[in-house]
Amino acid sequence: MAQLIGGDSSLLRRINSAVTLRALRDGAVLTLTQLVGETGLSRPTVEGVIEGLIESGLVAEVEPADEGVRQRGRPARHFRFRAEAGHLLGVEIGTHGARAIVSDLRGRTLGAYGRPIDETTEADERLALVRATVAELLRRGGISRESLWAVGVGTPGVVDAEGVVQLGTALPGWTGLDLANRLRRSFRCPVLVENDANLAAIGEHWKGAAIGRGDVVFVLAGLSPGAGSLIGGRLHRGFGGAAGEIGSLHLLGQEDEPSRLLSTTESALRDPLDEAAVARVLRRAQQGDHVAMDVRDRFVARLVRDVAALVLAIDPQIVVIGGWASGLDGVVEPLRKQLGRLCLRPPEVQLAALGDAAIAIGAVKLAFDHAEQQLFAVDQ
């Protein structure tokens, strides 16, 4: 712990408080002596800081577990971080539904709730259904809205730094929507909006297939694939928030449009969202229908090509494949093979570990990081 010269004792207090709180947040139950050891602060300083933290509700004193043999003398006081002092909310707004996850201040999931939403639903109604999804989750968990410290939201499309959807063709009425402000009306805490594939990358890095990997490409494989990248452990949004929006790559060769690729007839499937028709084709492929199998293979080949372009551009340590198309037979193996052929140093290729929840979990992490700043920032 760095010493500071006098003059700004409130800054010093904040730093000492943050250091103590972090020791408790990262650890389990600690005694005063342990806190002195962890923080490098003096015992009286820690005592003063702890009193303040208990008052603010962030720390609680706990009865030590009976350790069999009682120690003599005054028992040591034990403290813990009150992860229940606040809650974090992660919300996914998807083409076919909404999903919300709530966690405590340590980021531990406390509950999840989702509901389907028809793909044709207009923006206002969709937002009402999202609000209802959140309300139901909070109700079921007995969590008050006022206990929320931050809300993270994931959505398809290009989202700017202010949370406005600059382009969102996957959802009706989405382009131009000031999503952050629209949702802020329902909460008293900050609402942060981010592209869905970006959040899935964050989610898989936090709790999924990419833990401990700094350079990650997450592919949200669908009819129009999107991707999110972490570079050095940090989200790469791109200059305009559009990094990884590779959905239009297929325009470079019109014949490769997914609605045609996945069609078993001469006419294209309804573009861009006819996932039911796609599911039918894939079912037929699984049943051994040769036309459908060819169709599936063509689609996988295009996905592989799009991902290869991403990988060559970014050179990640790991590629994580999620989204509904990740469930297709033989996405991962052809991808490994192609990347091995194309890349000077092929990355690891894994299926997403969090499945459908990756985006909402990434949204929780967005809220978690914001809460971290509130807890540990000392510079104001």
- Residue ranges that bind a copy of itself, judged by CB under 8 A: 3, 5, 158, 166-167, 214-215, 227, 229, 231, 236-246, 248-249, 251-252, 305, 308-310, 312-317, 338, 341-345, 347
- N residues, the chain: 380
Nearer to a copy of itself, 29 or 301 (CB): 301
| DSSP H or E segment with residue 59 | strand 59-62
CA-CA distance, 271 to 265, in Å (whole number)?
15
Nearer to a copy of itself, 62 or 343 (CB): 343
Contact status, residue 219 vs residue 321, Cβ threshold 8 Å: yes
Q: How many Cβ atoms are within 10 Å of 237's Cβ, its own excluded? A: 19
Give the burial class of 347: count Cβ atoms within 10 A of its Cβ; 0-12 exposed, 13-18 middle, 19 or more buried: buried
Nearer to a copy of itself, 59 or 335 (CB): 335
In angstroms, give the least distance from the CB of 370 to a copy of itself: 21
In angstroms, give the least distance from the CB of 231 to a copy of itself: 6
Which residue, among 162, 180, 293, has the nearest Cα to 240 in the 3D structure? Answer: 162
Q: How far is CA 255 from CA 34, 98, 238, 249, 314, in A?
A: 66, 33, 29, 12, 27
Nearer to a copy of itself, 65 or 251 (CB): 251
Name the pairing type of β-strands 148-155 and 109-116.
unpaired
Nearer to a copy of itself, 114 or 322 (CB): 322
Nearer to a copy of itself, 40 or 57 (CB): 40
Nearer to a copy of itself, 85 or 231 (CB): 231
In angstroms, give the least distance from the CB of 3 to a copy of itself: 7
In angstroms, give the least distance from the CB of 217 to a copy of itself: 8
In angstroms, give the least distance from the CB of 47 to a copy of itself: 25
In angstroms, give the least distance from the CB of 300 to a copy of itself: 13
What does the DSSP 8-state code read for residue 352? -
In angstroms, give the least distance from the CB of 374 to a copy of itself: 25
CA-CA distance, 38 to 186, in Å (whole number)?
40
Name the pairing type of β-strands 191-195 and 148-155.
parallel
